[in-house]
Structure 1
Amino acid sequence: MRAVISLAIIIVMLTTLAVAAPQNQPPAAALKTVQPAVSPQPEAMVTLDSQPLFPIRVRVLSFSPEDRARLISARLAKLVRNPLFNIDSLKVADGESTSDIVSGDTILMSVTEAEALAEGKTRLALAEELAGKIRAAVVARNKEYSTQSLLSDALYTVLVTLVLIGALLLINHFHPKIRAKVHSWRGTYIRSIRFQSFELLHEERISLLINAILNVTRTALVLGLFFLYIPLVLSFFPWTHGVAAKLLAYTLAPLDTIWQTFVASLPKLFFLLVIIVITRYTIKFMGFLFSEVEKQTITIPGFYPDWSEPTFKIVRFLMLAFAAVVAFPYLPGSDSPAFKGVSIFLGVLFSLGSSSALSNIVAGVVLTYTRAFKVGDRIKISDAVGDVIENNLLITRIRTIKNVDVTVPNAMVLASHITNYSSSAEEHGLILHTTVTIGYDAPWRQVHELLIAAARATENILELPAPFVLQTSLDDFYVSYQINAFTDKPAVMARTYSVLHQNIQEKFNEAGVEIMSPHYSALRDGSMITTPEPYLPESNKRRATS
């Protein structure tokens, strides 16, 4: 009985252990998930005279791969510059935890078990491999710095220099001859490009264009020769190997970046091309439409023909601004901080410096659509009187009767009183008026007749409407008579006034009517009259001379 109970207890214990064993030992998949992932270390390259030898991938204590590569490169460079250094002294010393590459008492580097494990080799084999690479690099360096190698490098430099000089001499020899040949081809091989009777491009311009291309080609050839010559010569000598590589990198890197950017920007450039084409031909269509409106081929109710040109300019500006806004995100480099900074800077400059310009533009638009004047009108702005010769969104330029050009900002024009002598001259006529003072002894009807006769005898005065006279005041010593006459030529109103004044003098002198003024009346003693002697009768002449 006891044996049966003992056997049962043993069976239960074994079963419990068998069931508990899988629970205490996780499967392989679980172990894989529990193990932390080892992040790869960034490798650093050990170099000798800027030539890569082998990479360092494992950290040792507090030294990162970069630190270790830099220290090993510095020790190796110091060692090879030592004139007492012997390549046979470079050996591998195998220790308990590291295998060291040494030269005499100097330890160049130590190879650890972790590095050997990472490379899949034994520690000693990895150390021997690295030591072999160092020996090979030192031997190659010694060969480069040998006297024979330097002499051969100097010989190659002389040969390359002679080739460069020869190429430059050939370019300078043939370039003037080619230019002279092109000059001699004018009129024979090089002729003007014509379309029917219109000359598109003269033969002289074509010759100049070809000469410019030849000059650019010559400059490109010279620069290309020097671009090849300088890195090639620098690569001959061991001291300048790195300089030659850097020079090539500095030169080719921007070109490669530009090319890569250009290739990457081709879809955006195509989109920009589409925007440019659509905008260009839309503006052309709008220009054609407004030109037809200006010619009155197309009439729009309430839209004057002289509004066509300024309206087209405004529409063109708005279309260009809209196209620029649409195209801006597709410009190469538009998302770069530098581009955004320059855009903000230009925007600030524009906002600070364009306040007066914007006020002039707004005033120009207001003046355009209020039709205050147009080009060719005789106007008066402040003290300036003349004909409008230019009117744009910024300024108005008028030419006075003395041929003086006066430029007035549109903001000042809008803030001033504008007198337009031409706006109604053709339809209603411009009234020219001048005032004379005649004594009370002259019959007013006679004065009216004389003034109207003087006006009718004046050139550029209209017959209809007929001239008329207004008596503007009855003063102490005289009556003020104002002659009013119509003209349709305000551009010559100064000359018309002059002729009118001459005719008034003629008519009044012929009729013997004195033109009085209070100042003259105060100075005369009654023995002389104002009528010139040739117009006086014989009795009056004797009285005037007595």
Structure 2
Amino acid sequence: MAAARYSNGDLMQRLTLMMAVVFVTLLGAPTPSMVSHSQAATTANVSATDPSGIDALEYERAAVTLDGRVLFQVRGLPAYPANERAKTIRQRIEEIADDSSVSVDSLRMVDMEDRTRIAAGDRLVAGFIDADGTAEGVPRQLLAERATIKIKQAIASYRNDRSPRVLLIHASYALGATALLALVLFVVRGVFRKLDALAESRLRSRIEAFETQSYQIVQARQLRKALNGTLKGLYLSALLALGYLYLNFVLNLYPWTRPLAARLLAILLDPLQAMGLGVIESLPGIAFVAVVVIVTRYVLRLMRLYFESIDRGTVTLVRFDREWALPTYRIARLLAIAFAVVVAYPYIPGSSSEAFKGVSIFLGVVFSLGSSSVIANLIAGYAMIYRRAFRVGDRISIDNVAGDVVERRLMVTHLRTIKNEEIIVPNSTIINNNIINYSTLAHTRGLILHTTVGIGYETPWRQVEAMLRLAAERTSGLLKEPAPFILQKSLGDFAVTYGLNAYCDDAQRMASLYTAMHQNILDVFNEHGVQIMTPAYEGDPEKPKVVPKDQWYQAPATPADASARDGEKP
């Protein structure tokens, strides 16, 4: 039953051991090659006289500790490993130290024929055999005598550290250290505030001058942020150093926390050491990734220079429009970056870990679920570029929406209507509908503006066509060549439908030209006393429904208003 008791120190050691196991597990188990090298090194230390490996257990050592202090070391035996032996001795020492009825002076050596024991009354503490003395090069009795002295000193110190008087003194030390820490923190905070103000006042003019000298390539705001970040980093480092000194001092005051104090520095440095070792192990992969990045950037620069030369017209390619240069560069850049990522991915540190793979799968699922419409619009945007459906400045009509193209992006296209309304149309909508481009042929062959009128059968068609041509000639902005032409579109029940077709070279003036053309048609037909019968006809009036010329400018209309309207452009 005595062997089943665990003191505070034993529990602390077990907790520390569990934390170490978890930490090693997180870092990753050693590879088979590492295990084989470790086994080879252990075998190399085994005595050559016994290849079975028994001597490896005999020469294995473990330290016997109490309150974090090493008392002595013991060696392992074939049936009794060193760790188990040291653990058992430590537990026995702690049991005696916790039992105040056992005097330190009661510890004695008991020399037997084949071993020497250390006992306190009838309670066994430790035992040494001849093999222990042979390994140390001294008789076992001398080895046991040294261990007895160490055990007595450790038990005395163990009990003294837990006495009320010493605990009270150490508590006062802890309070004093806390007060001193608060004072030092106050002073350090004031010092760094003064340093911040001093740097701001002394270096402001120099920073602004440096910004001017660098032609604003390096901005003063960025330099001030860097300076503030440096000061904050120094301040944080000072706080961490003070915190470490304080914790190390206070934890060393109490025997229960003394092992933690011994591990405190290791707790702080072990992650940094692991990170450093990880970086060192990853250096070949990092170097390969760096080479891939450098080569990729160089290739991208060459590609950009080449396509910019095409865009400027310095380099020309057969059947390749200049406006395709930059979109093609973006596609080529994306492909080059994707190829570089595929090549460099296996060499990225941690890319083979399960966590990295899980994050990659998660991002892939999110991207595939949320980017279907985005990808569709991107593909549609590039498809429209290479189809040359329209350009910026063209007047187009898409799904009964007409306007001028003011901006074309990969995702959407911006249109401005004649009402000065901006309409944003997704590219996927454009690619799935018919596009009417009024500007493509306007400057070369001309854009045909057409309108219809219905005239009664009693009016000669030759007269009607002549009047329509006259109206077209009076419309400023319509082309003389090609000449306007008239089509008789239908012979209705009560009227003949005539279609006037005239050319213009400016699609942006369509609305104003239609207005002027309709005005001139009305004027010409009124001048010649011909009644327009569309859109509906009910019967022949006594007099033709025309406006005499002397009534064209009834108040508030004036001839000046009509001439001004002829020059309007929406």
- Range of TM-score over shorter length: 0.7 to 0.9
TM-score under structure 2 normalisation?
A: 0.76
Letter in 1 for 2:363: L
Match of 2:56 among 26, 30, 40: 40
Shift of 1:280: 1.8
- 1:49 is aligned to 67
**Aligned pair in 2 of structure 1 residues 66, 310: CA closer, same or farther (>3 Å)?**
same
1:350-382 CA distance string (max 9 Å, x none): 344444444444333333222222333322332
> Structure 1's 343 and 375: CA in aligned 2 closer, same or farther, altered over 3 A?
same
1:308/1:91 CA distance change after superposition, 3 Å? same
Distance in 2 separating the partners of 1:486 and 1:462: 5
Contact (CA 8 Å) 1:361, 1:393: kept in 2 or not?
Answer: yes
In structure 2, do the counterparts of structure 1 residues 77 and 463 end up closer, same or farther at CA, with 3 Å as the change threshold?
farther
The one-character-per-residue Cα deviations of 1:323-358 (angstroms, maximum 9, x if unpaired) are 222322332223333323333433344344444444
Tell me, in whole angstroms, the C-alpha distance in 2 between the residues paired with 1:378 and 1:389.
10
Instruction: Tell me the residue number matched to 1:329.
Output: 346
Contact 2:443 2:505 in 1 (8 A): yes
| d(CA) in 2 for partners of 1:528, 1:184 | 94
For the structure 1 residues 364 and 143, does the alpha-carbon distance in structure 2 shift closer, same or farther, using more than 3 Å as the test?
A: same
Q: CA deviation at 1:288?
A: 1.6
Query: 1:341 corresponds to which residue?
Result: 358
Distance 1:381 1:258, change over 3 A: same
Q: How many equivalent pairs are there? A: 503
Q: Secondary structure at the match of 1:299?
A: coil
Q: How many angstroms apart in 1 are the aligned matches of 2:370 and 2:378?
A: 14
2:319 aligns with one of 284, 289, 302: 302
In structure 1, C-alpha distance between the alignment counterparts of 2:467 and 2:262, rounded to whole Å: 103
Residue of structure 1 in register with 2:289 after alignment: 272
User: What residue is the counterpart of 1:471 in the other structure?
Assistant: 488
2:502 to 471, 485, 495: 485
Moved more, 478-487 or 94-103: 94-103
Offset of residue 413 of structure 1: 2.8
Distance 1:292 1:534 in 2: 62
DSSP-derived class of the 1:298 partner = coil
Residues 67 and 259, structure 2, Cα contact 8 Å, conserved in 1: yes
What aligned pairs does 1:429-468 form with structure 2 within 5 A after superposition?
429-458=446-475, 460-468=477-485
Match of 1:421 among 438, 444, 448: 438
User: Do the aligned residues in 1 keep the contact of 2:412 with 2:425 (CA within 8 Å)?
Assistant: yes
For 1:420 and 1:189, the matched residues in 2 are separated by: 58
Query: How high is the sequence identity, in percent, across the aligned residues?
Result: 39
| Structure 2: distance between partners of 1:426 and 1:135 | 110
The alignment's C-alpha RMSD in Å is: 3.5
Does the residue aligned with 1:239 lie in a helix, a strand or coil?
A: coil
User: Map of 1:282-321 to 2, 5 A cutoff?
Assistant: 282-321=299-338
* Superposed displacement of residue 484, structure 1: 2.1
Maintained 8 Å contact 1:290/1:308: yes
1:191 is aligned, of 203, 208, 211, to 208
Aligned position for 2:4: none
1:531 and 2:546 aligned: yes
Q: Can you list the C-alpha shifts for 1:216-247, whole angstroms capped at 9, x where unaligned?
A: 44344334433443333323332222223344
Listed as ranges, the matches of 1:326-405 within 5 Å are 326-405=343-422
SS at match of 1:372: coil
Corresponding residue of 1:19: none
Alpha-carbon shift at residue 162 of structure 1 (Å): 4.1
- Secondary structure of 1:265's counterpart equals helix
Q: Structure 2: which 5+ residue stretches go unaligned?
A: 1-47, 553-570
Q: Give the conservation status (yes or no) of the 8 Å contact 1:45–1:54.
A: yes
Moved over 6 A (4+): 32-35
- Single out whichever of 308-317 and 204-213 deviates more from structure 2: 204-213
Larger radius of gyration: 1
In the alignment, which residue of structure 1 is the partner of 2:158?
141
Give how far 1:441 is off: 3.2
Opposite residue 40 of structure 1, the aligned amino acid is: A
Q: In structure 2, what is the Cα distance between the partners aligned to 1:311 and 1:52?
A: 72
Task: Give TM-score, length-normalised by structure 1.
Answer: 0.79
**Whole-angstrom CA distance in 1 between matches of 2:428 and 2:183:** 67
Amino acid across the alignment from 1:438: I
1:112-151 alignment to 2 at 5 Å? 122-146=139-163, 149-150=166-167
Spell out, residue by residue over 1:48-96, the C-alpha distance to the aligned partner (whole angstroms, 9 max, x if none): 23444444543575x6544444443333333322333322222333456
In the alignment, is the contact (CA less than 8 A) between 1:192 and 1:201 conserved in 2? no
The range that moved more, 303-312 or 77-86, is 77-86
CA distance in 1, matches of 2:257, 2:50: 53
Go from structure 1 to structure 2 and tell me whether the alpha carbon gap of 1:199 and 1:349 turns closer, same or farther (over 3 Å shift).
closer
Change (3 A) 1:416 1:154: same
Q: Which residue of 1 aligns with 2:181?
A: 164
Aligned to 1:25: none
1:48–1:137 Cα contact (<8 Å) kept: yes
Residue 165 to residue 35, structure 1, CA distance change in 2 (3 Å):
closer
- Against the structure 1 CA distance between its residues 196 and 90, is the aligned structure 2 distance closer, same or farther, given a 3 Å change threshold? closer
* Distance in 1 of aligned mates of 2:462 and 2:157: 127
Tell whether the 8 Å contact from 1:102 to 1:108 is kept in structure 2 after alignment: yes
Q: Distance in 2 between matches of 1:355 and 1:33?
A: 73
Partner AA of 1:82 in structure 2? D
SS at match of 1:236: coil
User: Is the Cα contact below 8 Å between 2:107 and 2:119 reproduced in 1?
Assistant: yes
The separation in 2 between residues aligned to 1:191 and 1:172, in whole angstroms, is: 27
Deviation for aligned residue 1:294: 0.9
Q: Which protein has greater RCO, CA pairs closer than 8 Å, 6+ apart? A: 2
2:76–2:85: 8 Å Cα contact kept in structure 1?
Answer: no
- Pick from 68, 76, 88 the counterpart of residue 58 of structure 1: 76
Distance in 2 between the 1:214 and 1:529 partners?
94
How far the C-alpha of 1:312 sits from its partner, in A, is 0.5
Q: Which amino acid aligns with 1:38?
A: I
Following superposition of structure 1 onto structure 2, how do residues 177-188 of structure 1 map, counting pairs within 5 Å?
177-185=194-202, 188=205
C-alpha distance in structure 2 between counterparts of 1:507 and 1:167, whole Å: 100
Report the alpha carbon displacement of residue 286 of structure 1 after superposing the two structures with TM: 1.4
Distance 1:533 1:76 in 2: 130
Q: CA deviation at 1:105?
A: 3.9
Contact 1:469 1:484 in 2 (8 A): yes
SS of equivalent residue, structure 2 residue 208: coil
In the superposition, relative to structure 1, how do residues 477 and 197 fare at CA in structure 2: closer, same or farther (>3 Å)? Answer: farther
Matches of 1:534 and 1:176, distance apart in 2? 90
Residues 13-36 of structure 1, C-alpha deviations (whole Å, 9 max, x = no match):
xxxxxxxxxxxxxxxxxxx89974
- Structure 1 residues 273 and 60: alpha-carbon distance in aligned structure 2, compared to 1, 3 A threshold: closer
Cα distance 1:404–1:255, how it changes in 2: closer, same or farther (>3 A)? farther
SS at match of 2:393: coil
Deviation track 1:518-542 (CA, whole Å, cap 9, x = no partner) reads: 53x23x67257543476669xxxxx
Flag the 1:222–1:366 CA change in 2: closer, same or farther, 3 A: same
2:294 counterpart of 1:255 = no
Provide Cα deviations, 1:140-198, integer angstroms capped at 9, x if missing partner.
Answer: 33343455654554454445434433333233334444444444457743324467894
Q: Which moved more, 1:90-99 or 1:240-249?
A: 90-99
- TM-superposed CA distance for 1:298, in Å, is 1.0
Quote the Cα distance in structure 2 between the aligned partners of 1:493 and 1:44. 98
Structure 1 equivalent of residue 105 of structure 2: 88
TM-aligned CA distance change 1:227 to 1:389, over 3 Å: farther
C-alpha separation between the residues in 2 aligned to 1:432 and 1:109? 114
Q: For residue 472 of structure 1, report the CA deviation from its aligned partner.
A: 1.5
Report the more deviating stretch, 158-167 or 241-250: 158-167
Whole-angstrom distance in 2 between the partners of 1:86 and 1:528: 143
SS of match in other structure, 2:452: strand
| Alpha-carbon separation, structure 1, partners of 2:157 and 2:403 | 90
